[in-house]
């Protein structure tokens, strides 16, 4: 006994086929649309499936493709029922169907259906023909051709839209997805259709989308309300609006806002850094003047006394503290000044050699690996400031590797084209690049986002002031360059600096 499924949205066709096939001693089940068919197929394993071509939600062509992808239906005989076979060419072989019958007078259709029924058993050995059965005495209808051309037009529009668009049913199953939506989700159309929309999302996003859909159903949500969520590593804005045709489904629009968010965050960060910079500059100057006053007066007092004076030691210690305060101020000025004092042509490789030697001597548990470009171009820079940047990076790397580790120092010439996509405005034609990589504790996202802020530190009181990277940032910017960081918790950190080559 052959098992059959008939899928058609037209009740008359369903009834006709069901009766006809039952009379041929077949077991028959029916479904009114593609989605219903897939539900039936999850428990029923027919030998032949008759599929209407044009149906609401998942259409016949798509349904065929979905069924063909499922290994358990590889041998199932798929028969398309087409009401538009005369008006348009139905290339049913291309979407996986075995035969196609034109919808016409029942008496004619009956013959072809019975033919198919007997052929289905032996067809595997026969070559399939692309001919549509029952087309001979049908004639083309103008109105059908026109409607088909309108349908195609809308399909082209939906296909061309860069926003992702989906339609979902009232129980959240996906019945339509345009190419943009499919590519944003990174899942094939066949897998996407009929699946639960909410399952595209994880954790908190899924909950929020679920709530939004519920609100849409009881009309407490305004039209086109949006939420932000992540699919396939992209940040998306998701807008949901009800379908206004008596059904209870929804239309979902996906807008990729990954870039937009990135630029907003970057802009906010830059504005923040600039305003803090102005503040720091003012304070640093005032403090510097005060310090110079203290330093001058201490020196005068010291000049007037010998080392056996009871206040001599105290004054010396004041002098020392003033010196370390001055170096702090220097860091802060480095961040705030964004200018260069004594500019000379220099080669960064030499400075790296000298600075890393200090590190090598003081931290024998750290292995330094150098890969310095022999032909590295010169830069025009303030040696003292660049040295300060290098020292700050090396000290931080050392702090991140309390048990020792590896430190990689790499330099290279890069052209403006290679760094085109970076966030800073590429002005010069040629840059040099320095990469400082450690194998230390690394940083989480929250830390990474704040490291260039002045006074941001994760180190205990008295160990860090949080000015090292802020000053490095200011100095590099003042040199027309750019500094960026890549880091992952537990895996290490890599700082990249670009400076215009001369």
Plot region of 219 (φ>0 → left; ψ -120 to 50 → alpha; else → beta)? left
CB of 482 to ligand ATP, least distance (A): 17
Cβ atoms of 262 and 216 within 8 Å: the answer is no
141: partner contacted, choices ligand ATP, Mg ion, none (Cβ within 5-8 A by kind): none
For ligand ATP, the closer of residues 392 and 411 by Cβ is 392
Query: Whole-number minimum distance, CB 453 to Mg ion, in Å?
Result: 13
CB of 340 to ligand ATP, least distance (A): 21
Q: Which is nearer to ligand ATP, 210 or 464 (CB)?
A: 464
Among 37, 255, 58, residue whose Cα is nearest residue 169: 58
Q: Which stretch binds Mg ion (CB under 5 A): 54-62, 232-240, 350-358, 394-402?
A: 394-402
Closer of 57 and 396 to ligand ATP (Cβ)? 396
Q: Does 325 bind ligand ATP (CB under 6 A)?
A: no
The residue to which tokens 């008006």 are assigned: 87
User: What is the DSSP code (8-state) at residue 195?
Assistant: S
Question: Beta-carbon neighbour count of residue 92 at 10 Å?
Answer: 26
Structure token pair of residue 49? 């499936």
Whichever of 201 and 495 has its CB closer to ligand ATP, that residue is 495
Instruction: Confirm or reject binding of residue 404 to ligand ATP (CB under 6 A).
Output: no
Around Cβ 46, how many Cβ atoms within 10 Å?
Answer: 21
CA distance 303 to 306: 8
SS3 helix, strand, coil % of the chain, rounded to 5? 45, 20, 30
Q: Give the residue, chosen from 185, 493, 497, 500, that forms a contact with ligand ATP under the rule CB under 6 A.
A: 493
Give CA–CA dist 75/333, Å, rounded. 76
468 interacts with Mg ion by CB under 5 A: yes
CB of 400 to Mg ion, least distance (A): 10
CB closer to ligand ATP out of 178 and 388: 388
Residue among 200, 144, 136, 147 at smallest CA distance from 173? 200
Smallest gap, in angstroms, from Cβ of residue 393 to ligand ATP? 7
Q: State the pairing for strand pair 27-31/3-7.
A: parallel
Q: Is the CB of 378 or the CB of 447 nearer to ligand ATP?
A: 447
Contact 432, 348 (CB under 8 A): yes
Residue identified by tokens 């960060």 is 269
Chain positions 411 to 470 lying near ligand ATP, rule: CB under 6 A, are: 438, 440-443, 447, 451, 456-459, 464-470
Residue with the shortest CB distance to Mg ion: 468
Positions touching ligand ATP (CB under 6 A) are: 392, 396-397, 400, 438, 440-443, 447, 451, 456-459, 464-470, 493
Positions touching Mg ion (CB under 5 A) are: 396, 468
């Amino acid at each position: 006994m052959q098992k059959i499924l008939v899928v058609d949205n037209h009740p008359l066709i369903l009834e006709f086929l069901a009766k006809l096939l039952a009379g041929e001693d077949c077991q028959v089940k029916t479904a009114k649309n593609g989605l219903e068919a897939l539900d039936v197929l999850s428990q029923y394993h027919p030998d032949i499936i008759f599929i209407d071509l044009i149906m609401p939600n998942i259409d016949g062509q798509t349904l065929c493709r979905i069924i063909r992808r499922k290994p358990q239906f590889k041998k199932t005989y798929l028969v398309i029922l087409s009401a538009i076979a005369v008006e348009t060419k139905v290339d049913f072989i291309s979407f996986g169907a075995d035969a196609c019958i034109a919808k016409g007078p029942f008496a004619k259709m009956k013959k072809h259906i019975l033919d198919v029924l007997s052929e289905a058993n032996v067809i595997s050995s026969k070559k399939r023909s692309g001919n549509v059965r029952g087309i001979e005495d049908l004639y083309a209808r103008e109105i059908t051709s026109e409607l088909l051309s309108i349908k195609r037009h809308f399909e082209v529009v939906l296909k061309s839209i860069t926003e992702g668009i989906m339609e979902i049913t009232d129980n959240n199953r996906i019945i339509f997805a345009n190419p943009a939506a499919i590519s944003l989700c990174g899942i094939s159309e066949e897998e996407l259709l009929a699946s639960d929309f909410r399952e595209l999302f994880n954790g908190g996003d899924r909950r929020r989308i679920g709530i939004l859909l519920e609100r849409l159903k009881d009309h407490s949500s305004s039209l086109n309300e949006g939420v932000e969520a992540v699919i396939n590593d992209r940040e998306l804005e998701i807008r949901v609006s009800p379908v206004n045709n008596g059904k209870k489904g929804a239309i979902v629009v996906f807008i990729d806002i990954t870039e937009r968010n990135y630029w907003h965050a970057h802009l906010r960060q830059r504005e923040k850094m600039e305003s803090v910079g102005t503040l720091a500059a003012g304070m640093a100057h005032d403090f510097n003047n005060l310090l110079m006053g203290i330093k001058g007066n201490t020196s005068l007092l010291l000049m007037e006394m010998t080392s056996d004076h009871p206040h001599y030691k105290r004054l010396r210690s004041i002098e020392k503290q003033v010196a370390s305060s001055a170096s702090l101020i220097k860091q802060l000025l480095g961040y705030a000044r964004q200018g260069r004092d004594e500019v000379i042509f220099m080669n960064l490789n030499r400075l790296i050699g000298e600075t890393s030697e200090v590190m090598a001597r003081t931290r024998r548990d750290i292995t330094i690996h150098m890969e310095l470009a022999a032909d590295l171009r010169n830069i025009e820079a303030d040696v003292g400031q660049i040295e300060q940047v290098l020292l700050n990076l090396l000290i931080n790397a050392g702090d991140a590797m309390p048990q020792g580790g590896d430190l990689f120092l790499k330099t290279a010439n890069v052209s403006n084209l290679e760094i085109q996509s970076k966030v800073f405005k590429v002005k010069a034609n040629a840059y040099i690049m320095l990469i400082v990589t450690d194998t230390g504790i690394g940083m989480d996202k929250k830390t990474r986002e704040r490291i260039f802020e002045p006074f941001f530190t994760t180190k205990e009181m008295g160990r860090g002031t949080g000015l090292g990277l802020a000053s490095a940032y200011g100095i590099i910017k003042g040199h027309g360059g750019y500094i960026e960081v890549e880091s992952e918790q537990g895996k290490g950190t890599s700082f990249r600096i670009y400076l215009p080559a001369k």
